[in-house]
Amino acid sequence: MFQKTTALHRAMLASLRPSLGGGSEALSISEQIAMQLADEIVNERFEPNERLQEIGISERYKVSRGPVREALRILENAGLVTIAPRRGAIVTQLSAKEVADVFDIRAVLSGLGARRMAETRSKDDIDMLQRQCAALKKLAAKKGPKAAADYVDAVVEFGLSISEASGNERLNSIVTLLFHQTLRYSRLGLSSPERRAQSCANWVELVDHIVAGRAVEAEQTARQLVEQSKVHAIRLLREAEARDAG
C-alpha cells in the first residue's frame, strides 16, 4: 500500500513510531493507512479542518472500521488530526502561536544537530553535504507550480541528513517528528522565489561552517534557517486569519 522511502516518508514513519525511531518492522494495516493519509495531509490533498470520514476510508481501503479508527488515533498522536466528540477526526490547522512554538523547538534541536555534525564530520559526511548543496542550488532556481514543494522536500532531505549524521539518535528522532509536523508550514514559509533564494544562501553558509568545523557558527546558521521560515509562515498565516475574520 505504501512503498515510498524518501526523507519525508522516513519522517512520517518516525511520527507513527516515535518509540522505535522509525523501525524497519513491517507496517500493520492501520500503520499503512495512517502513512497514506499522512502523505495526503502534508501534501494538502485534505484541507485544514476537513473531516476524515471513517466509513469512506474503510470503503476506500476495503477494511473494517477498526483498523481505520486505529489509523486515525496514530495520526492524532502525530499531530495531524484532532479527534473531537461527535465530529470524528478533523485535519489540524495550527494557529500562528502554535506554529511559532513548534518551529522554536525545531530551531534549537536543528542547531544542536548541526553543531554535533561540525564537531564529528567525516569525509563521507562532507561529500554528502556538498552533493545535497549542489542539488539545492538547482532547485532554488527552479520555476513553476511545483517549485516550492520540490525545494521544501529537498530541504527536508538535507535537514534530516544532518540530523542523522549528528550521531545522536534521540535528537534525530525528535527532529524528524518536528519536520513532519511543520512541513505544511515550511512550504508556506518558503513559498516565494525570494525566500527560497535566501534559504539556499543560508544552506550554503551552513555547509561551509560544517565542512570547516566551525561548530558554533554552524549551530547559529541552522537555527537562523528555521527561524526565517517560521517568521515568513507566521506572517502569511496571520494575513490569512485577518482576511477570514474580515
Summarize pLDDT for 108-160 with one digit per residue, the tens. Answer: 999 999 999 999 999 999 999 999 999 999 999 998 888 988 898 899 889 98
Mean pLDDT of 11-17: 60
The predicted pLDDT at position 11 comes to 61
The CA angle 177-134-208, to the nearest 5 degrees, is 80
Looking at the predicted structure, is the pLDDT value of residue 82 above 80?
A: yes
Asked which of 57, 91, 125 is the last residue of a domain, the reply is: 91
Does 83 share its domain with 153? Answer: no
Helices (H) and strands (E) in the chain, counts: 10, 3
Q: Which residue has the higher pLDDT, 68 or 7?
A: 68
Does 179 share its domain with 149? Answer: yes
The predicted pLDDT at position 12 comes to 62
Distance from the first to the final alpha carbon of the chain: 43
**C-beta neighbour count of 56 within 10 angstroms:** 11
Note down the domain range covering 77: 7-91
Long-range residue pairs from 195-203, CB within 8 A, at least 24 positions apart, any chain? 195/228, 195/229, 195/232, 196/139, 196/140, 196/147, 196/148, 196/151, 197/140, 198/228, 199/140, 199/151, 199/155, 199/225, 199/228, 199/229, 200/136, 200/137, 200/140, 202/228, 203/133, 203/136, 203/155, 203/158
- CATH number, domain containing residue 232: 1.20.120.530
Mean pLDDT of 203-211: 97
- For 150-180, the pLDDT digits (tens) are 898 899 889 989 988 988 888 887 888 788 7
Note whether residue 2 is domain-resident: no
Helix (H, G, I), strand (E, B) or coil at 160: helix
Does 138 share its domain with 230? Answer: yes
Q: Which residue has the higher pLDDT, 82 or 177?
A: 82
Q: Does the predicted TM-score (pTM) go above 0.85?
A: no
The predicted pLDDT at position 19 comes to 43
